[in-house]
Amino acid sequence: METIFDTYQRYPFHFEKGEGSWLYDDKGEKYLDFTSGLAVTNLGHRHPVIVEKVKNQLDQLWHTSNLFSTSPQQELAQKLTEQSSMDRVFFCNSGAEANEAAIKIARKYGQHTTRSHRYEIITFEQSFHGRTIATLAATGQDKVKTGFRPLPQGFRYCPYNDIVALDEAINEHTCAIMLEMIQGEGGVNVAESSFIQHIKKRCEEHQILLIIDEIQTGIGRTGTLFAYEHWNLQPDIITTAKGLANGLPIGAMLATEKLAESFSPGSHGSTFGGNPIACTAANAVLDVIEQQQLITQAAIQGDKLLAKLTSALQHHDFVKTIRGKGLLIGIECKGKVHDVIQSMHDQKLLVIPAGPNVIRLLPNLLVTDKQIDTAVQTIQEALNIQNV
């Protein structure tokens, strides 16, 4: 009898072990993992430095409560602020919780700190900000909202990369604009530079907060620590989670000092947020990324992957376009990609969709040239089967 809610459209694999870029199922079969657990295991499975650090922390301290401070949490907050140009950090357990914190602090700042009546947040069509009630409301995709209405009010939605629609949405109640620099779940849609610069200008003119959702794009994924660094931006709030602790549950909402007053004692909290084990893993992740120069590595390998995919697929009848940054790449096709992905899985390459027509590739930051070549060949073969 099934005992787990059927909330996931699971693929027919049961994995028992991971090592680097590889997953091993219960039959001993080996799969090349180009999903990274949905941009989570950015350093691959069971990275030895993270394993060692976490094992050591297990012998020290697991949990206190956020009424007390711990060294791993303080150390991680210091690293994140130094590497992001932010000043304060709130720790939680997931991306949705980080976005919830961002929504709360933006509203608190807009209504109480500035003594104005600002509470609305502009988000964008095809965005994805989480599955809690508030982050569902923030998400610009109706398909994830079915059955959960009425949702919280206070969100306006604009087409992505549409400057005119953005200007029409801004009003006296707008407290923040919230966006992903690359919409991962929405189809690997990349923000246009002119659009981002217009957002920057409007935020400055109207004193609107800028929230950048880096849940999927952060921690080196796009060839910078955070994706917003590709654009000339200074956000007020950043959210991050997935890749931060390489598989252990953690999320973080980072903000500039001007928002500090809006999260005063008692205004927000999280029982497990920033627990010592997750923070230890996250500290190890950031150390490895810095010591091994993996941000540069991700940019280089991402360029290689994109170039090889373009060379192999540019004349393929089923492929519409290939886009992305770093190691977040989408192959948009002219039809549904379910069967193509199934073919790749049959050839032991794990990829996932981003909407019905886009194949999403998320290899880890340590992906090798040989693994890239294997993946590109498998993708080409799967698409050729589709085209027969």
**pLDDT tops 60 at residue 388:** no
Average pLDDT value for the chain: 96
Average pLDDT over residues 234-260: 97
CA dihedral 149, 152, 156, 157 (to 10 degrees): -40
Percentage of the chain modeled with pLDDT above 70: 99
Average pLDDT over residues 302-312: 98
Q: Would you name the residues annotated as active-site residues? A: 128, 213, 242
Average pLDDT over residues 352-373: 98
- Ranges assigned E (strand) in 310-380: 319-325, 328-333, 349-350, 352-353, 358-361
Q: Cα separations (Å) of 286 from 121, 217, 308?
A: 31, 15, 29
Average pLDDT over residues 40-69: 97
Average pLDDT over residues 91-99: 98
Band of pLDDT at residue 1, cut at 50, 70 and 90: confident
CATH 3.90.1150.10 domain span(s) along the chain: 15-40+293-387
**pLDDT tops 70 at residue 195:** yes
Q: How far apart are CA 337 and CA 348, in angstroms?
A: 17
Task: State the CATH architecture for 15-40+293-387.
Answer: Alpha-Beta Complex (3.90)
> What's the pLDDT at 387?
66
Average pLDDT over residues 116-137: 96
Q: How far apart are CA 325 and CA 323, in angstroms?
A: 7
Average pLDDT over residues 226-244: 97
Average pLDDT over residues 120-126: 98
> What's the pLDDT at 369?
98
The string of pLDDT tens digits covering residues 137-157 is: 999 999 999 999 999 999 999
The string of pLDDT tens digits covering residues 216-231 is: 999 999 999 999 999 9
Judge contact between 113 and 264, C-beta under 8 A: no
Task: Provide φ and ψ at 206, rounded to 5°.
Answer: -105, 5
The string of pLDDT tens digits covering residues 156-186 is: 999 999 999 999 999 999 999 999 999 999 9
3: left (phi over 0), alpha (psi -120 to 50) or beta: alpha
Average pLDDT over residues 357-361: 98
Could you give the angle at which helices 48-58 and 276-291 cross, rounded to 10 degrees? Answer: 150
Q: Which helix (H) or strand (E) holds 309?
A: helix 294-313
Q: Cα separations (Å) of 183 from 302, 322, 330?
A: 17, 14, 10
**pLDDT tops 50 at residue 33:** yes
CATH 3.40.640.10 domain span(s) along the chain: 49-291
**pLDDT tops 80 at residue 113:** no
Q: Which residue has the higher pLDDT, 1 or 322?
A: 322
> What's the pLDDT at 159?
98
**pLDDT tops 50 at residue 337:** yes
> What's the pLDDT at 2?
86
Note every long-range contact of 352-358, with CB atoms under 8 Å and residues 24 or more positions apart, other chains counting.
352/35, 352/38, 354/184, 354/185, 354/186, 354/187, 354/188, 354/330, 355/126, 355/185, 355/186, 355/187, 357/187, 357/320, 357/332, 357/333, 358/187, 358/188, 358/330, 358/331, 358/332, 358/333
CA dihedral 347, 348, 349, 351 (to 10 degrees): 100
The CATH class for the domain spanning 49-291 reads alpha beta
**pLDDT tops 70 at residue 247:** yes
pTM of the model: 0.97
Q: How far apart are CA 47 and CA 351, in angstroms?
A: 21
Length of the chain equals 388
305-341 in b/e form (b: 16+ CB < 10 A) is bbebbeebbeebeebeebbbbbbbbbbbbeeebeebb
